[in-house]
């Protein structure tokens, strides 16, 4: 249960920090680059202590996951400056449907009816929590639709690759898997550095180092949670709970009090947590 609870806390911390950085006008792309760099250092140190040869499939999976991380981040950042898009970005937590369906269809998981009910409640809660922020008067544009689809596909791919690794049964190679992931992500952000006008200021480097603890920690929490709970349960619960925590934080700190949909969403996530652990 501890791993299942830590995952949404780390996810929510990423979202809250990103919004704070946008509010103080730090270059989020540069922060992301340093976040991946420090995450690679963390896993590099872990792998150096216990080096284990990696299977070709693990290396290939790490490369793909690293590119998916970067793609998701590049699509996510523009949504922070456009409230009309950020509402849809929040709904992109429904990307949990991708690994959830894969768990049921490809890996033929059979969670209990009670736990599956909890997962469904999470899916219901996510749009309630997202829509509670209010939709702006701006019209639905092609750009917004593309960002929405991109977030669903790319973030769904990230979650699916974590489920894939769990099913691979090579847990002893996880450190190497994540090291490849973050090295590739760091290299991709370095190549893009001139395009997003990266600046290595003290704030950017400091926040990158701090956020690396969340990014480097979230993935192993997911994999560890998958050893106890079915993927069809872990992913919707993690995404919905992270969104609920973000809404709650905004209410207490930024005084953005949720309305009835948001409160109902938080209640559904709470009930889901109880059902999932029965």
Over residues 26-35, the mean pLDDT reads: 95
Bigger pLDDT: 19 vs 48: 48
Helix (H) / strand (E) containing 79:
helix 56-80
Question: Is the pLDDT at 139 greater than 70, yes or no?
Answer: no
Mean pLDDT of the chain: 83
Contact (Cβ atoms closer than 8 angstroms) between residue 262 and residue 247: yes
Name which of 226, 171, 189 is nearest 69 in CA terms. Answer: 189
Cα–Cα distance measured from residue 201 to residue 209, given in angstroms and rounded to the nearest whole number: 12
pLDDT of residue 269: 74
Over residues 17-26, the mean pLDDT reads: 85
Question: Is the pLDDT at 126 greater than 90, yes or no?
Answer: no
**Length of the chain in terms of residues written:** 278
Domain ranges, residue 54:
2-276
Give per-residue pLDDT as tens, 39-61.
Answer: 999 999 999 998 999 999 999 99
pLDDT of residue 137: 41
Structural domain count, the chain = 1
Cα–Cα distance measured from residue 119 to residue 127, given in angstroms and rounded to the nearest whole number: 14
Of all residues in the chain, the percent with pLDDT exceeding 70 is 85
Question: Is the pLDDT at 17 greater than 70, yes or no?
Answer: yes
Helix (DSSP H) and strand (DSSP E) numbers for the chain = 11, 0
pLDDT of residue 22: 81
Give per-residue pLDDT as tens, 161-197.
Answer: 999 999 998 899 999 999 999 999 999 999 999 998 8
Dihedral through CA 161, CA 167, CA 168, CA 172, nearest 10? 90
Lowest model confidence (mean pLDDT) among 21-35, 109-123, 177-191, 250-264: 250-264
Give per-residue pLDDT as tens, 220-249.
Answer: 999 989 888 888 888 888 877 887 787 778
Cα–Cα distance measured from residue 231 to residue 77, given in angstroms and rounded to the nearest whole number: 27
> SS3 of 35, please?
helix
Question: Is the pLDDT at 32 greater than 90, yes or no?
Answer: yes
pTM recorded for the entire structure: 0.85
pLDDT of residue 250: 74
Q: How far lies 165's CA from each of 92, 248, 268, in Å?
A: 23, 32, 30
Q: Provide the sign of the torsion angle of the four alpha carbons 86, 88, 90, 92, taken in this order.
A: negative
pLDDT of residue 107: 83
Give per-residue pLDDT as tens, 64-88.
Answer: 999 999 999 998 888 776 654 555 5
When pLDDT is cut at 50, 70 and 90, the band that residue 99 belongs to is confident
């Amino acid at each position: 249960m501890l791993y299942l609870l830590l995952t949404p806390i780390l996810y929510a911390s990423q979202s809250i920090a990103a919004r704070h950085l946008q509010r103080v006008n730090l270059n989020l792309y540069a922060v992301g680059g340093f976040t991946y760099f420090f995450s690679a250092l963390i896993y590099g140190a872990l792998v150096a202590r216990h080096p284990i040869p990696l299977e070709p499939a693990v290396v290939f999976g790490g490369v793909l996951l690293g590119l998916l991380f970067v793609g998701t981040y590049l699509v996510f950042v523009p949504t922070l400056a456009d409230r009309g898009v950020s509402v849809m970005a929040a709904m992109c937590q429904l990307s949990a449907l991708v690994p959830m369906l894969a768990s049921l269809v490809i890996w033929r998981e059979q969670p209990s009816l009670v736990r599956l009910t909890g997962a469904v409640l999470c899916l219901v809660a996510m749009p309630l929590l997202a829509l509670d922020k209010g939709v702006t008067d701006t019209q639905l544009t092609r750009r917004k639709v593309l960002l929405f689809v991109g977030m669903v596909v790319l973030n769904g791919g990230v979650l699916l690759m974590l489920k894939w690794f769990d099913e691979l049964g090579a847990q002893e190679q996880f450190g190497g898997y994540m090291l490849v992931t973050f090295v590739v992500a760091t290299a991709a952000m370095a190549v893009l550095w001139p395009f997003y006008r990266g600046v290595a200021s003290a704030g950017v480097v400091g926040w990158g180092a701090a956020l690396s603890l969340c990014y480097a920690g979230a993935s192993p929490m997911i994999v560890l949670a998958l050893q106890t709970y079915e993927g069809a349960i872990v992913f919707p619960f993690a995404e919905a709970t992270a969104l609920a925590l973000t809404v709650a934080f905004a209410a207490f700190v930024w005084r953005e009090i949720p309305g009835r949909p948001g409160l109902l969403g938080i209640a559904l996530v709470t009930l889901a947590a109880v059902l999932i652990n029965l």
